[in-house]
A and B are shown apart, each in its own frame.
Chain A
Amino acid sequence: MDRLQAKRPLYPLVSVVSPLVVLVVGLLTAKSPCFPAYIVAVVLLYCAFGLAKQAVMSLAVFIPVSLVFALFSFLFQRNFSAAGQMAGRVILLGVSALPMVTLPPINLTRCIAALGMPRIITLGMLIAIRFVPVVQGEVGRVREAMKTRGVRHSFYRTFAVPVMIRLINISDTMALSLETRAFSTGREPVSVYKPVVFAARDAFYSAAVFALIITWVVMA
C-alpha cells in the first residue's frame, strides 16, 4: 500500500468524499452506454491531480479482475450487456477509490483531530489500519507453532482458539499503549504536529469533480 501513497495528497475530507460521490453516481448510471467514457474521464481527472502512477497501477489490477467478474456474471445471467456493466462497475470501484487509498492515514487522523471530531473515530482508524498486518503475522506464528506440535489441523481447536487468544492480548497491549501515551476519548485539548490545510489545489480539484459529475449526469 505504501507504493500507492500520493506524493501530494489532497485534503483528507475531499479525498474521502469525492471518491464516494464519483462511485455512487457511477453505480447509479452504470447502465448508460457511455459509462466507459465516465470511467475514462475520472481517470484523466485523477491523473491531472498527480495520481497518474497510482491510476496505472490500479487499472493494471482491476481490468483483469473486472474481466473475471464479467465472465462470472455472463455465466450466471447469459447477458453480454450485464457482464459489461459488471466489468465497468468493478473498474470504477478500483479507480474511484484512488484519492482515498493514496491518502496517508496520518493526514486523515490529523484532519479529524483538527476538526474536533470524536477521538474514538481516530482510535478506530489507527487500530483498524494497524491491525490487518498484525493479524497476518499472528496467523503465521500460530500456524508455525502448531506445526511444531505436530498437530492434525482442526479449525476451531488448533487455529481459532490460539489466534483469538493472541489477538485479544495484542488488542489489550494496543489499548494500553494508547492510554500510556496520554490518548483520551474525553474533551482534553490536543494539538496537531503537521496541520493539514485546505489549499487552492483542493478547491480546483473539488470544482473539477463537481463539473464532471454535473456533465455526466446531464449526459447520462
Chain B
Amino acid sequence: MSSAIAEPVTTVLPKSTLDTMILWRTLSVLLLFGSWEIAGRIPISIAFPTFLETMDAFFTLIFDGRMFYAYAETLKPLIVGVGISAGFGISIGIGMGLNRTIQWLSEPIFIVMQAAPMAALIPLVTFVYGIGLAAKVCAVVILAAPIIVLNSYKAVTNANTSLIQMCASFQGSRMQQIIRVIIPDASPMIFAGLRLGVAAGFIGVILAELLITPTGVGDLITYHRSVAEYNYMYAAVFSIMLFAAVTVGLLEKAEIAFFRPERKQKKGG
C-alpha cells in the first residue's frame, strides 16, 4: 500500500541537480581515462598502450575506413543473432509467463543454458555449422537468448496483479490484458533483459570472430595483436565497448519512447 502523500510529487530533477549529475559523470569518465593514460605511461606492460595512443589508433581506423568495414562484417551475425534472440526470446519468455505448459517445457532448458558456460560450446557450434555466418549467429543466440527469455518470463510473472484485475473488471479480454497491461507493465524488466542480452550478444559475436574465423572486429583484434600494434588492438576493443554502450543506451530510449513515456525526464527549473 502506498503511503499518503499530501502534495503532488514529481521526479523532475531541478537544474542544479542535473548540472551536478553531469559534472560527476564527466569526472567519472575523466578519472577512468586519466588512470588509463597514467597506467600506459608507467607502463604497466609493453602490451598496454596509453589512452591517447589508443584514441589516435581509434580515429585512424575510423578515417581509413577499416573500422567501418570491420563493423559491416561483425554486425551481420550480431544483428541476425540478436534479432532472433529478441524475437523468439521475448515471445517464449512471455509465453512461459502466461502459460504453465510452456513454462514447464522451456524453463529447465533456459535455466541450464544461462547457468552453463555456453562460450565453451562455440567449438561444438563450429563443428556443426562450419565457419560461416550460421555458426556466428548461433554463438550470438546461445549467449543472448537465455538472458532475454528468463527476464521476459520473470517480468510477466511479476506483472502487477492489481492492474490485471482492474483490466478484467472493465471486461478487458485476455488479449487486452496481455497487450494493454501485462506487456507494458513488464517492459522495464523485458528491456533490462534485452540490454543484458545485447551485451551478451556482443560477447558472443566477438568470441565467434576470435574462435571461429577472424573477421570483422575480431579480425582487427587478432591481426593487430599478432603484429604487436597494441594501440590498434585496444582501439578495436574500445570501439566494441563504445558501440555496446551506445546500443544499450538507445534501447533504453526506445523503451521509454514506446512503453514508458512517464519516465521521460522533464526539464526542471
- Indicate, yes or no, whether A interacts with B: no
